Amino acid sequence: MINLMLTAILSISTISSITAAKVSQHAASRYPGCPIDYISRIGDSHCDDQYNIRECNFDGGDCLEFEARYPNCKAKYKHWIGDTKCNSGEYNTPECGYDGGDCVEFNLHYPNCKVQYPYIVGDNSCFGKEYNTPECGYDGGDCVEFNKNYPGCNVERPYLIGDGKCQDSPEYNSFECGEFLSCAYCYYKIRLLTLP
């Protein structure tokens, strides 16, 4: 039985390898001179800069479509546009179609939330500072529970609070962040070392 299963698995992997090899051969013959590393990226509707050359038919047409749709979009990594993750800055602009639509919902919910990585807002992991603000819906709701437990504690990495390790920073070792007593030794060490 095990032998049969192994044979079946080997056969499937052999077929997959042969299919992949055929696809690569096909791509190679279709785009001679194109340095193909990731064949699936050519013609996948996302403009990949490394294939945006004549030999690759401008990423199998992806980059021609991109240029036609967003002629004034100067974002660095074009394949980030329309990848479902909202990217900030030069991506979230009218010229780039608000990151190819990725940021439309984000902008609607959090028009005044200016963070570097909008796609971590609402990813179920609480990130502090400028993310944990009313403008950003307290990290899209991720920090609501944390704020209940530690009101007034707005550190950059809330997930370090209560992880059993003492952070060498008075900001974390504070009453507000609940680490003061458990980190008493650490706290005093910091204070003693920083005394004038």
CB-based burial, 25-43: b 16+ in 10 Å, e otherwise: eebeeebeebebeebebbb
Beta strand extents in 143-195 (DSSP E only):
none
C-alpha dist (Å) from residue 96 to 46, 63, 84: 13, 13, 14
Q: What's the rounded Cα separation, in Å, for the pair 179 and 26? A: 60
Which residue of 123, 145, 168, 171 would you call a contact of Ca ion, by CB under 5 A? 123
| Smaller CB separation from Ca ion, 102 or 179 | 102
Q: Which is nearer to Ca ion, 44 or 176 (CB)?
A: 44
* 44 counts as binding Ca ion under rule CB under 5 A: yes
What is the Cα–Cα distance from 190 to 182, expressed in whole angstroms? 14
Q: Which of 125/182 has CB closer to Ca ion?
A: 125
Asked if 166 is part of the footprint of Ca ion (rule: CB under 5 A), the reply reads no
Q: Does 41 bind Ca ion (CB under 5 A)?
A: yes
Phi, psi angles (nearest 5°) of residue 168: -75, 60
**How many residues sit in the footprint of Ca ion (CB under 5 A)?**
18
User: How far apart (Å, rounded) are the C-alpha atoms in residues 9 and 171?
Assistant: 54
The nearer residue to Ca ion, 139 or 179, going by C-beta atoms, is 139
Near Ca ion by CB under 5 A, which window of 1-9, 16-24, 78-86, 163-171?
78-86
Which residues of the chain form contacts with Ca ion (CB under 5 A)? 41, 44, 46, 48, 59, 62, 80, 83, 85, 87, 99, 102, 120, 123, 125, 127, 139, 142
